[in-house]
Amino acid sequence: MQKLFPITRSLTGTGVRETLVYLGKLLSYLTIHEVPSGTVAFDWTVPDEWTIRDAYIEDESGLRVVDFQQHNLHVVGYSEPVDVWLNRDELEHYLYSLPDQLNAIPYITSYYQRRWGFCLTHNQRLALPHGRYHAVVDSDLKPGVLNYADLIIPGESDKEVLLSTYICHPSMANNELSGPVVTAALARWLQSLEKRRYTYRIVFIPETIGSIVYLSQNIDHLKRKVIAGFNITCIGDDRCYSYLPSRAGDTLSDQVALHVLQHMDDDFKRYTWIDRGSDERQYCAPGVDLPIATIMRSKYGEYPEYHTSLDNFDVVTHSGLEGGFIALRRAIEIIEQNCYPKVTVFCEPQLGKRGLYPTLSTKKSAKQVRAMMNLISYCDGSRSLLEIANLIKEPLWELQPICDRLVEHGLLVCEK
């Protein structure tokens, strides 16, 4: 994450490619794709590619008072090239700062309307004296390509779980470098497994236009194959967990996400479809209708550092990323493991004669026996292990080993 952080990513351009190449070194079989500017994707058109070399505001003495080399948020994303002298008042129209966050550089973009501008802290802005200023954006906006990458990790079934994240944000940590980083860790973990029940499709795209392009190229396949999936974003801080549903609201992804978060954090935040704001807008759009839910830490738009230079490694922590990774790994494990268990005998089985009662009675063992009996009591073949886990209020990851033991003893059969 520290290596990827300084790169100037945007919808398109060198920064995106550099990021994808780096990820490709971590992830065997990652394929980088390119789509020419002007390509039509549903209602949208792939925009020109943006190349940014330098951007600054100099005062009359040649001192750079705002400098892209210092922080890549200082230039408005997709700024068109400019080289002008302006007085202090004229300059105002091209400056963006946050009066409520005096030391934060805001993150501003203008992808579909030609503009140029500079972002700076409000304190910087207030300190600019009257005088003449030289504003320079050394950029290109011309036909090129939009890049994205994907990776297919095959499983026993060709039914797919889709993990999508976006790589269009420059130097910000929770939104959004945490997404690609945790997704890469999940992909490496998935690749390390001996076998997988489902096929995994891991997608690194620029947000919005990227998911629209990806869908326009793969929609029929995705609609046939994807049984669950997550948009992976804002997954790096340690302040809370959050859930945002798919549009349908009750897909397997939603059930799994809720189960995981309920058992990991009593106080996780539950958002609604109305609060959406990322690629689920495309994946769950009418007619697309993929079963994509979102598990987050602090949600975009809901934490003070969001879309500013303050979204850095003070916000994103090791434990924040790890907690996010664990939540998503558990969600995937549940999708892998979920089944329809059915007890093989009528009435309660005699556990004692099989040594399934613990010989030493402790509080923990009593809880486990209770969980085992509750599990068995619902194993009628009509309820999934996930549904049973919800009914008996146990995390599936604690129920799974009990289920496995009962299968070993021939007391349960599990239909996948």
Residue with Cβ nearer its own copies (107 or 214):
214
Residue with Cβ nearer its own copies (99 or 287):
287
Residue with Cβ nearer its own copies (4 or 95):
95
Fill in the amino acid letter for 303: Y
Q: Which DSSP string corresponds to 13-34? A: SHHHHHHHHHHHHHSTT-EEEE
Beta carbons of 254 and 313 less than 8 angstroms apart: no
Among 316, 243, 225, 321, CA closest to 280: 243
Residue with Cβ nearer its own copies (62 or 287):
287
Taking the complex as a whole, how short is the minimal distance between the CB of residue 208 and its own copies, in angstroms? Answer: 8
Taking the complex as a whole, how short is the minimal distance between the CB of residue 286 and its own copies, in angstroms? Answer: 3
Among 204, 233, 275, CA closest to 24: 204
Taking the complex as a whole, how short is the minimal distance between the CB of residue 244 and its own copies, in angstroms? Answer: 13
Torsion of CA 364, 369, 374, 377, to 10 degrees: 170
Query: Residue length, the chain?
Result: 416
Taking the complex as a whole, how short is the minimal distance between the CB of residue 46 and its own copies, in angstroms? Answer: 12
Taking the complex as a whole, how short is the minimal distance between the CB of residue 271 and its own copies, in angstroms? Answer: 14
For residue 169 the two structure tokens come to: 């944000």
Taking the complex as a whole, how short is the minimal distance between the CB of residue 394 and its own copies, in angstroms? Answer: 10
Question: Which residues contact its own copies (rule: CB under 8 A)?
Answer: 41-44, 112-113, 208, 211-212, 215-216, 219, 247, 273-274, 276, 281-282, 284-289, 342-343, 345-350, 352-353, 374, 376-381, 391-393
Beta carbons of 202 and 209 less than 8 angstroms apart: no
Taking the complex as a whole, how short is the minimal distance between the CB of residue 241 and its own copies, in angstroms? Answer: 24
Taking the complex as a whole, how short is the minimal distance between the CB of residue 275 and its own copies, in angstroms? Answer: 10
Taking the complex as a whole, how short is the minimal distance between the CB of residue 112 and its own copies, in angstroms? Answer: 5
Taking the complex as a whole, how short is the minimal distance between the CB of residue 340 and its own copies, in angstroms? Answer: 12
Residue with Cβ nearer its own copies (2 or 359):
359
Residue with Cβ nearer its own copies (133 or 306):
306
Residue with Cβ nearer its own copies (160 or 280):
280
Alpha carbon distance 4, 310 (integer Å): 17
Among 13, 20, 392, CA closest to 184: 20
Residue with Cβ nearer its own copies (170 or 349):
349
Residue with Cβ nearer its own copies (42 or 313):
42
Taking the complex as a whole, how short is the minimal distance between the CB of residue 343 and its own copies, in angstroms? Answer: 5
Integer CA distances (angstroms), 365 to 132, 329, 360, 368, 371, in order: 77, 27, 8, 5, 10
Q: Is 235 left (phi over 0), alpha (psi -120 to 50) or beta?
A: alpha
Alpha carbon distance 241, 320 (integer Å): 10
Neighbours of 272 (CB within 10 A): 10
Question: Residues near 134 by Cβ (< 8 Å), separated by ≥ 6?
Answer: 57, 58, 59, 60, 83, 84, 85
Question: Residues near 102 by Cβ (< 8 Å), separated by ≥ 6?
Answer: 121, 122, 123
Residue with Cβ nearer its own copies (321 or 371):
371
Among 230, 253, 236, 261, CA closest to 181: 236
Residue with Cβ nearer its own copies (69 or 350):
350
Alpha carbon distance 212, 101 (integer Å): 34
